[in-house]
Structure formats: structure tokens, C-alpha cells
């Protein structure tokens, strides 16, 4: 009965988890049985889109299998993802702190939303004009941050480029993604989902380095990479992002 309720609940965009989380056992790893939040464990069954290094679809697999580090090769399956950078009308950037419930990179600071288009949602497989990724971004911003979907329509997102990176995380869970970078400048209403997000705040461009240095937790590897290599120049040019579009190349790190 509990899992039936959770399966229904996680599909509802406006669902907010109870303050007391259910916990169910995960699979055994190296002889140690881990305990994971039930909603996060259920999300591991979602189907990510597998791609090759040219971002061509090669199949699909569960979120769990796409983030589990292979104990022999130390590699993670390459899959499609997106990262949303959200700015308000004053040019301040929204960041979130991932909740302690998260299985991958818990208690870390990151950009507004980072997730995956899902194979089982047909529209999120649509590649023309990056529409599937945009729809996935709309869905996840609503689920994680409670932003009403009518405030974040697919056409509102500015698709800049793609980044290919890998990080083996804690050696059990990691990332290997072709990450679509989406920018959005809009004033939105927030109602964070506590199962996903423990903190949100807006940062100003002029003191970004000082603000990050005072965080009480590390950055996610993808946010750290983008911050160091691209973010500042993009942020300085929110009014003319089109000149930074690169839909042909995939930047590799």
C-alpha cells in the first residue's frame, strides 16, 4: 500500500513529500545494505536516455543503472541530461542545495535544476529544437522547486550548448552525461519540494566567488565545472545570449 501511494504521488507535479520520510532498503553493495528514502529509491526506476559521444540515442536504462559506477571498469553509462540556470529580472541567479535524501551528490549546492529527459515520456524524446529536453526541464522545475508550469513554458528556455563530462562521485554513484545547458531569465514563484531541495537562494554576479567560498557544503561537479569554464561570461551577457549559442559542438571535460 505504501509503495502504491508513492508511485502515484511521485507522478503528481505538485506533490510535496511529508516532513517524515519513509525509508526502504536499497540493494546490497559490497555486502553493506544501504537505506534510501522511498521516493528517491522509486525514482531510480525512471528510464534515462542512453547516448553515444555524438549524442545519438543508443537505447535506455534505469536511472539506477545510469548512475551506478561499474566496479570493474570504474565507468558510468553515458546518458542525456540538462542543467537549468535560472535568473530573476534583476539578473540574480537561483541556486539550490540538494537535500540529504538525494542518492547522488546529497547536501551539495548546484544550479536551479539538473535532471534528465525520460525515455518513458514520449514528448521528452523529441529532439527537434531541443523540445524534449525543454519539456523535461519544465517538469522537473515544477517538481523540485514548485514553479507553476505556466511560468516556465518550453519556449522560455534558451538552449546554449552541450557539455560532456564524467565524475565517479563516491565510487558507487556517479555521473556521465551529455548535459544540455538551458538559461531562463524570469521572475517565478517558488515552493520547494523538501524531498529534493533543502535550501534555495539568489546570488549576485559581482560577488559570486565570495558567496560560493562561504558555502557550508561543496558544489556538484557539473555546477563547479560550468562555473569555472563558462558561467560568468554567459551571466554577463544575459541580454545577448544568442551569440554564445553552439548547437553543433559538444564541449568535453
Q: Which three three-digit cell numbers place residue 151?
A: 511560468
Catalytic residue status for 245 = no
Residue 229: partners with Cβ closer than 8 Å, 6 or more residues away? 251, 253
**Catalytic annotation, pick one of 46, 124, 175, 177:** 177
d(CA 195, CA 6): 13
Q: Which three three-digit cell numbers place residue 74?
A: 570504474
Catalytic residue status for 114 = yes
**Catalytic annotation, pick one of 114, 124, 130, 196:** 114
CA separation (Å) from 164 to 57, 62, 176, 183, 228? 15, 20, 8, 18, 15
What residues are labeled active site?
A: 114, 177
Amino acid at each position: 500500500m505504501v509503495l502504491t501511494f508513492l508511485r502515484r504521488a511521485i507522478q503528481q507535479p505538485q506533490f510535496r513529500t511529508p516532513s517524515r520520510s519513509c525509508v526502504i532498503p536499497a540493494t546490497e553493495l559490497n555486502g553493506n545494505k544501504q537505506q534510501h528514502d522511498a521516493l528517491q529509491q522509486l525514482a531510480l526506476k525512471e528510464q534515462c536516455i542512453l547516448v553515444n559521444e555524438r549524442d545519438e540515442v543508443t537505447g535506455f536504462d534505469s536511472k539506477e543503472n545510469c548512475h551506478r559506477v561499474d566496479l570493474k571498469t570504474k565507468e558510468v553509462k553515458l546518458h542525456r541530461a540538462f542543467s537549468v540556470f535560472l535568473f530573476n529580472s534583476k539578473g540574480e541567479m537561483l541556486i539550490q542545495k540538494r537535500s540529504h535524501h538525494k542518492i547522488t551528490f546529497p547536501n551539495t549546492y548546484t544550479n536551479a535544476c539538473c535532471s534528465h529527459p525520460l525515455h518513458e515520456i514520449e514528448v521528452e524524446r523529441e529532439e527537434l529544437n531541443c523540445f524534449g529536453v525543454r519539456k523535461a526541464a519544465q517538469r522537473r522545475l515544477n517538481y523540485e522547486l514548485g514553479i507553476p508550469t505556466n511560468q516556465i513554458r518550453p519556449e522560455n528556455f534558451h538552449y546554449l550548448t552541450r557539455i560532456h563530462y564524467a565524475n565517479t562521485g563516491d565510487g558507487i554513484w556517479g555521473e556521465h552525461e551529455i548535459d544540455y545547458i538551458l538559461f531562463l531569465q524570469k521572475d517565478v514563484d517558488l515552493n520547494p519540494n523538501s524531498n529534493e531541495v533543502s535550501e534555495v537562494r539568489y546570488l549576485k554576479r559581482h560577488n559570486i566567488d565570495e558567496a560560493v567560498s562561504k558555502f557550508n557544503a561543496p558544489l556538484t561537479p557539473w555546477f563547479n565545472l560550468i562555473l569555472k569554464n563558462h558561467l560568468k561570461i554567459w551571466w554577463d551577457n544575459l541580454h545577448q545570449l544568442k551569440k554564445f549559442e553552439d548547437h553543433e559542438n559538444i564541449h568535453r571535460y
